[in-house]
Chain A
Amino acid sequence: QQQVKQSPQSLIVQKGGISIINCAYENTAFDYFPWYQQFPGKGPALLIAIRPDVSEKKEGRFTISFNKSAKQFSLHIMDSQPGDSATYFCAASGRGSTLGRLYFGRGTQLTVWP
């Protein structure tokens, strides 16, 4: 059973546009939601993360929006640039027996056209 569902699988955006990637989860024990960015041939790297005590977190052009009641969170990339072309993974983690484990979505391949 997939713990975190991510959409879309691929996304093509024009330079300067807004990229939006969505994720949903079911486990209400999850309380940590990071996003990872992966460039071809490299390992993933943490981009931004949020905890459910806030509804939004912004770092530069990257924003996470979090809807606790809907159990959904999304990544917005403003003013998308060709250098943002990468695969993005959302993830979730909870306390208790799953502490330390990240459950990843299946990824979104973003292409930003110049």
Chain B
Amino acid sequence: NAGVTQTPKFRVLKTGQSMTLLCAQDMNHEYMYWYRQDPGMGLRLIHYSVGEGTTAKGEVPDGYNVSRLKKQNFLLGLESAAPSQTSVYFCASSYRGQYEQYFGPGTRLTVT
């Protein structure tokens, strides 16, 4: 099992450009999450999904959109990137709520 994979691993964007981060899991988990990690701020939840076709806002959803068309995939979109979105993005999945969250290796995004 690959667990949770994220694509791409690194990306540099110019302000105003758009991109999509892909998260895939092969553990048949119901729940999936997108976090951003910034120095001194811990892990902040952007959006999450409790099942295929459902999404919900987390703590810092502005400027991001998500989709969960297939159970194994969770996409994070940035429509118009801003320097404030420079961060490391982690995807995670879990069987249900309050079960272990399995994290991907992260995507380092720089917006210039």
Contact = CB atoms under 8 A, between A and B. Distances in A.
A32 interface: yes
* A contact patch SS: loop
A53 to B, nearest CB: 14
B100 A44 contact: no
Contact of A43 (B42, B94, B106): B106
B58 interface: yes
B2 interface: no
A46 B105 CA distance: 14
B97 A101 contact: yes
Contact of A46 (B50, B96, B97, B101): B101
Contacts, number: 55
A43 B98 contact: no
Contact of B101 (A42, A102, A105): A102
Given A101-B45, A106-B40, A44 B90 contact: yes
A95 B101 CA distance: 16
A89 interface: yes
A104 B43 contact: yes
B42 A101 contact: no
Given A42-B105, A43-B103, A100 B41 contact: no
Nearest to B49: A100
Interface of A: 6, 9, 31-32, 34, 36, 41-46, 49, 89, 93, 95, 99-102, 104-107
Given A46-B101, A93-B97, A101-B48, 11 more contacts: A32-B98, A41-B106, A43-B4, A44-B101, A100-B31, A100-B98, A101-B58, A104-B44, A106-B40, A107-B40, A107-B43
7 contacts: A43-B103, A44-B43, A100-B96, A100-B97, A101-B45, A104-B44, A106-B40
